[in-house]
Amino acid sequence: DAGITQSPRHKVTETGTPVTLRCHQTENHRYMYWYRQDPGHGLRLIHYSYGVKDTDKGEVSDGYSVSRSKTEDFLLTLESATSSQTSVYFCAISELAGGSEKLFFGSGTQLSVL
């Protein structure tokens, strides 16, 4: 599993509250990613990071912010959660292998915004 831990695994929150999801890795990988997955949409990239304090937007970044103050942690924050952000969130890291990069995903966080 490339040492990836997502927390929490499940969360239920109310509309308008802030929520932070954490992705922790133990193998010093440079690149980290946050995806969300919804029925009918597949995996969609929210934000990614290419180093400490270096982040960029993905396809669906509106309503989300990220921070990476340490190599091992990549935080995803919903400043004011909305029902449309109910989803399964996956963190991933990439590892160079065989001339290209493999992605390794965490187990996911099921977020419900009521």
Partner 1 sequence: DAKTTQPNSMESNEEEPVHLPCNHSTISGTDYIHWYRQLPSQGPEYVIHGLTSNVNNRMASLAIAEDRKSSTLILHRATLRDAAVYYCILRDVGVDRDDKIIFGKGTRLHILP
Residue 104 contacts residue 5 (beta carbons within 8 Å): no
Q: Which stretch binds partner 1 (CB under 8 A): 13-21, 69-77, 79-87, 101-109?
A: 101-109
- Respond yes or no on whether the N-terminal peptide bond of residue 8 is cis (omega within 30° of 0): yes
Interacting span for partner 1 (CB under 8 A) from 9-17, 19-27, 50-58, 72-80: 50-58
List the x/- string, 5-44, binding to partner 1 by CB under 8 A. --------------------------x-x-x----xxxxx
Rounded least distance, CB 8 to partner 1, Å: 15
Place of tokens 């996956």: 90
Min. distance of Cβ 11 from partner 1 in angstroms?
17
Q: In whole angstroms, what separates CA 27 from the centre of its chain?
A: 17
Cβ contacts of 52 within 8 Å, gap of 6 or more: 68, 69, 70, 71
Is residue 66 within 8 Å of 75, Cβ to Cβ?
yes
In the complex, the smallest distance separating the C-beta of residue 49 from partner 1, rounded to whole angstroms, is 9
87 binds partner 1, rule: CB under 8 A: no
Instruction: Find all residues with CB under 8 Å of 95, minimum gap 6, and list them.
Output: 2, 27, 29, 101, 102, 103, 104
Contact footprint for partner 1 (CB under 8 A): 31, 33, 35, 40-45, 48, 50, 56, 58-59, 90, 92, 94, 96, 98-108
